[in-house]
Amino acid sequence: MSEQHGTTDGAADASKNPITDAKPTFLERVDSALELELSKGPIINTVQPPDDANNFKPATIAADIPEAKPAGGNLRPGFFGAGGSMMRKFDESTLQSRKASRPSSPPPAIVGIGNKVARPDYSEEKIVLAMVGLPARGKSYLSNKLTRYLQWLEYDVKVFNVGNLRRSKAKSRASKTGKKEVHSASFFSNKNDEATKEREILAEESLEMLISWLYEGGNVAIHDATNSTKARRAKIEKRVAREPNFSLIFLESWCDDPDIIAANVDLKVSAGDPDYMNMSREEARADFLARIKQYEAVYETITEPHLSYMRISNVGSQVTVGRIHGYLQSRIAFYLMNLHLKPRAIFMSRHGESVYNVEGKIGGDAPLSPRGLQYAAALPKLIEDNLGNAPLTVWTSTLQRTIQTAEQLPFTKLIWKSLDELDAGVCDGMTYEEIEQEAYPEDFANRDDDKFNYRYRGGESYRDVVVRLEPVIMELERQDNILIIGHQAILRCLYAYFHNLPQNDLPYIKIPLHTVIKLTPKAYGCDEERYKVPISAVDTHRPKPTGSTTRANTLDAPINSTTRQFEIAALPNTAAL
């Protein structure tokens, strides 16, 4: 069909301008038609859809809309197009509504914007984890590490150590009879029928205590014993099978590394083990080695094909997993895969003092203050003096104050989004005084009452931060020497993990500015050293309020009684700053 207006088919006029004399578009013709109708007066009739509305075809309708004639050879802007007459009127009428809003600072008081995060419901998780292994093979090390990790994630975990039960009962009997029992190596001989029977009863009693505790609300109960024969493991399996919804995992710690075994033996005889009180170190070592031989004579590694089990060889050099099912079991297995005993140091430091620290504001992405820049310049020498030539990796958050603090460190650097400071949500960039007195007084009080569980509106709680830091913990357990340049809330959470501190105390751990904390992981904990650089900084620590419903003591670090503190002399390279 030929067009009703314009040139005829195939008869192009070469004298016409292809830009100004082009045919109007479909939308321009719609604009013109609407403008023509509106010029006749207001439209008051109701428009009914055509009978063939379902067969609507834009191409057919377009041909029937009259074309607007260009004035003076130029095309007029479309009626509702950009720059059209109606569009200009609309722009003028809405000019006021499009002005940028300017919120008051601080915002007006709003009640109840935050909330307390409920503890996760882990009540359905019931796992019996039975240790397997010879003495001095790292069973207690693994059970203690796993307990610390799961408790940090708020699972209820408890270790039931058969050796402790044995000593407790022996002590109770001695208080009644006045006769001290001697549990030397011969007590652990499989040929000693009376002692073997007693040890079996103790293992069964410990298992019953463990099951009762799980029914009281526990999640993971660890049966810490040798469980070194197939017969013993079959008894455990049969007993746990009687409990509906209970899972059983055997965790075998297998070791043939003479250095690890020797270190574990030394730890046993030098750590004040009750079995070796009032004995010389040499006598204790000889008896403990003899005890190991008694167990070796009957030891059977896990080969039962139907058992759910994990085997950790040489404390992490190799991991074997069989029949592990479910979320928590998999989580446990993955954590244990990342452990190692290699000597290492974990350094932790907050960023240098920031502009927001000086102004008393929380959150934000402020740069370092002049004193913060001085600390960044002093940090390389402090780390070098404590590390020597050992390799080190530096971890920072994505926020500029941590990146600036790490800028002069001559080590590999990794940026973690997970290490960003606790998100203060709507309170970000405010001072505590503004929050308490002007903006959100009720929520300020709620946070003081339960700081670990309080979540800022649009932000996070300490509990949220712990969850987000779990991948960081996994990677920390895998790594060698690490320096974390982080934030106050982040380092509190990590510090609580390494020192096994309860959640109620976690938000009040004192992590001061311009101080490096050095943690050296050991078999059953961490040694700690603190190095304070003589560059003054504001104190951002807020002690626990006296009216708080949580435990009242304030954790003014150092927490660890063995912590050593050092004052660093002024460093030459900071003088010019």
Cα–Cα distance for residue pair 267/569, rounded to 1 Å: 36
Return phi, psi of residue 525, to 5°. Answer: 155, -155
| Residue 572 DSSP one-character state | G
Q: Contact at 8 Å (CB) between 491 and 559?
A: no
Tokens representing residue 559 in the block: 């927490």
Cα–Cα distance for residue pair 367/403, rounded to 1 Å: 9
**Angle between helical axes of 488-499 and 470-478 (0-180°, round to 10):** 60
- Give the H or E element holding residue 565: strand 564-567
Instruction: Give yes or no: 421 in active site.
Output: yes
Q: Contact at 8 Å (CB) between 450 and 116?
A: yes
Return phi, psi of residue 38, to 5°. Answer: -65, -30
Helices (H), 395-499: 400-406, 432-434, 441-449, 462-468, 470-478, 488-499
| Residue 154 DSSP one-character state | T
Amino acid, single-letter form, for residue 358: V
Q: Which of 125, 287, 353, 421 is catalytic?
A: 421
Q: Which of 514, 564, 177 is nearest to 351 (CA)?
A: 514
Instruction: Give yes or no: 257 in active site.
Output: no
Distance of CA 515 to the CA centre of its chain: 23
**Interacting residues of 449 by C-beta distance below 8 A, sequence separation 6+:** 545, 547, 548, 549, 550
Q: Which of 183, 223, 351, 487 is catalytic?
A: 351
Return phi, psi of residue 526, to 5°. Answer: -140, 135
* 402-435 burial: b if 16+ Cβ within 10 Å, else e: bbbbbeebebeeeebeebbbbbbebbbbbbeebb
Find the Cα–Cα–Cα–Cα dihedral 82, 84, 87, 89, rounded to 10°: 140
**Interacting residues of 66 by C-beta distance below 8 A, sequence separation 6+:** 29, 32, 33, 36
Q: Which of 28, 31, 125, 224 is catalytic?
A: 224
N-term to C-term CA, the chain: 82
Instruction: Give yes or no: 205 in active site.
Output: no
Q: Contact at 8 Å (CB) between 417 and 436?
A: no
Is it true that the peptide bond before 103 is cis, omega within 30 degrees of 0?
Answer: no
* 74-97 burial: b if 16+ Cβ within 10 Å, else e: ebbebbbeeebeebeeeeeeeeee
Cα–Cα distance for residue pair 534/499, rounded to 1 Å: 26
Q: Which of 534, 483, 526, 532 is nearest to 512 (CA)?
A: 532
Q: Which of 335, 341, 475 is nearest to 395 (CA)?
A: 475
Cα–Cα distance for residue pair 212/164, rounded to 1 Å: 18
Cα–Cα distance for residue pair 502/379, rounded to 1 Å: 31
* Residues designated as active site: 224, 351, 421
